[in-house]
Amino acid sequence: MKILEVKNLVRDFGGLRAVDHLNLDMDEGQILGLIGPNGAGKSTVFNCIAGVYPPTSGEIRFSGVSVHGEKPWTLCRRGLARTFQIVKPFSSKTVLYNVMVGSFARTDRPAEAERRAMDVLRFLKLDHLHDTKAGNLTIAHRKRLEIARALATEPRMLLLDEVMAGLRPTEVDEMVKIIQQLRERGITIFIIEHIMRAIMALSDWIVVIHFGRKISEGVPAQVAADENVIKAYLGDEYVVS
């Protein structure tokens, strides 16, 4: 069974069509990369899937059930977690506190939530920072905290929105490793990323969108060679001349 099916997804903002009849689906355990130039509608796709706003039309099914109009918190309980492109830590709280908010999705007991949060922090090598205020973290640690919180909700599928933006090359490599480990844990991963090196290395399948429309898809090598994709990124004149 497909874990995620998106059928004819449309999302309008006023007169602007941000997502235009998008179709895609994902198998359990897959890593799917979504790329496209700035303003292509990538984050809008995520926001529709994560329940931030309902699609204008079209259907989204998560593990076989239609989740149309469901709110982010119920989707989270269904096993769908996400990170934000602009990280949103609970700045005045400690790292542990931040992650515990996530682990409370699966338990009501504070002691148990703390134990599970510490497990996640150890996995992401953030445990030594558990007592630090989230607002005082470096950008790399903040991105990792963003993943830790989402992971603490014990998702079956994770939407990662530019978790590598602003990281240094060595930090990007670490992040790639983390994502691969997540997949080994059986988590399906849907990722938006601008750093091509990383997304090409990670993804099993890549979907390219431009002006909200799918213009190409395939395995990384296929997509990289696709003329449409190059045009979309560099502009028409490059290919013509």
Partner 1 sequence: MTRQQFQALSLGLVAAVVLALPLFVRSATYLHILILLYLYAYLTTSWNLVGGFAGVLPLGHATFVGIGAYTSTILSLQYGVTPWIGMLAGGLLSVFVGVLIGLPTFKMRGAYFALATIAFAEGIRVMVENIDQLGPLKINGPRGLQIPPLNFGLANFMFPGKEPYYYIIVTMLAAVLAFTYFISRSKLGYYLSAGGEEPEAAMALGVNVARCKLIAMAMSSFLTALAGTFWAQFTLYIHPKSVISLDLSFEIAFIALIGGRGSIGGPILGAIVLRPVSDICRIYFGDKLPGLHLIIFGVVLILVMIFLPRGLQEPFSGLYNKVADRLTSTVPRQE
Q: Please list every residue from 103 through 122 that binds partner 1, using CB under 8 A.
A: 104-105, 108, 110, 113
3-state DSSP assignment of residue 16: strand
Instruction: Report the residue number, 97 or 123, with the smaller CB distance to partner 1.
Output: 97
Which part of the chain contacts partner 1 (CB under 8 A), choosing from 102-110, 169-177, 181-189, 200-208?
Answer: 102-110
The strand order across the sheet containing 16-27 reads 16-27, 2-13, 57-62, 65-66
Residue 24: phi, psi to the nearest 5?
Answer: -160, 160
139-178 mask for partner 1 (x: CB under 8 A)? ----------xx-xx-------------------------
Find the helix or strand (DSSP H, E) in which 222 lies. Answer: helix 220-225
From 41, 55, 89, 212, residue interacting with partner 1 (rule: CB under 8 A): 89
Q: Please list every residue from 53 through 82 that binds partner 1, using CB under 8 A.
A: 71-73, 76-77, 81-82
Distance between CA atoms of residues 142 and 89, nearest Å: 7
DSSP 149-164: HHHHT--SEEEEESTT
Tokens coding 209: 């969108």
Q: Smallest gap, in angstroms, from Cβ of residue 161 to partner 1? A: 11
From 60, 95, 100, 192, residue interacting with partner 1 (rule: CB under 8 A): 100
Instruction: Report the residue number, 73 or 238, with the smaller CB distance to partner 1.
Output: 73
Q: Hey, what's the torsion of the CAs at 116, 120, 74, 212, to 10 degrees?
A: 180
Residue 7 found at the interface with partner 1 (CB under 8 A)? no
Residue 241 found at the interface with partner 1 (CB under 8 A)? no
Number of residues that bind partner 1 (CB under 8 A): 29
Tokens coding 127: 């445990």
From 101, 165, 215, 230, residue interacting with partner 1 (rule: CB under 8 A): 101
Burial of 214 (0-12, 13-18, 19+ CB in 10 A): middle
Given the rule CB under 8 A, which residues bind partner 1? 50, 52, 71-73, 76-77, 81-82, 84, 88-93, 97, 100-102, 104-105, 108, 110, 113, 149-150, 152-153
